[in-house]
């Protein structure tokens, strides 16, 4: 255990967040996301039993979002005609604002298969046990300034 770091952050995840450089991406995936097949070229971290908002908050306490792109966060958009509840996106907005002072203007909405294509090039994928649909998030890491 370390002081000041969420107990959700395992040694493996802490190492991965440290290894990531400016512009690298990490996916925080819901339980339905094909993490192992999409992440066959990435590091996949299992965090079953945890939901995406709590993991998102813990990760954003440690890494900055990319300051040099307009939309450093990507979400999987709802498939047309799907009426799935996406209220989890409001939770993300609050977490992102608390961590970075940015709102939904910093979020890119990607069509499902476009999201998968972007996720294939991610440095790492965190596979959570999140049960809500469309709860997947891609974060582009920024620079620690100062």
Name residue 74's beta-bridge partners: 108, 138
Whether the CB-CB separation of 30 and 113 falls below 8 Å is answered with: no
Q: One of 66, 92, 123, 134 is an active-site residue; which one?
A: 66
Q: One of 50, 82, 92, 116 is an active-site residue; which one?
A: 116
- Beta-strand relationship, 73-76 and 43-47: unpaired
Q: Specify whether 66 is catalytic.
A: yes
**CB burial class (10 A; 0-12, 13-18, 19+) of residue 11?**
exposed
Q: Specify whether 22 is catalytic.
A: yes
Name residue 63's beta-bridge partners: none
- Which among 131, 134, 130 is positioned nearest to 54, based on CA atoms? 130
Q: One of 22, 68, 82, 85 is an active-site residue; which one?
A: 22
Structure tokens at 50: 């945890």
CB neighbourhood size of 129 (10 A): 13
Q: Specify whether 116 is catalytic.
A: yes
Q: Which residues are catalytic?
A: 22, 66, 116
């Amino acid at each position: 255990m370390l002081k000041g770091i969420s107990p959700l952050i395992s040694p493996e995840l802490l190492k991965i967040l440290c290894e990531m450089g400016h512009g690298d991406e990490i996916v925080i995936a819901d339980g339905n996301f094909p993490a192992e097949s999409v992440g066959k070229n990435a590091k996949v971290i299992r965090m079953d039993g945890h939901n995406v908002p709590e993991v998102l908050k813990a990760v954003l306490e440690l890494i900055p979002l990319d300051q040099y792109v307009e939309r450093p966060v990507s979400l999987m958009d709802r498939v047309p005609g799907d009426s799935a509840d996406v209220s989890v996106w409001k939770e993300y907005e609050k977490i992102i604002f608390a961590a970075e002072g940015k709102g939904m203007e910093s979020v890119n909405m990607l069509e499902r298969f476009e999201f998968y294509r972007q996720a294939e090039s991610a440095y790492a994928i965190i596979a959570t046990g999140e049960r809500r649909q469309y709860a997947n998030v891609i974060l582009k890491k920024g620079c620690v300034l100062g």
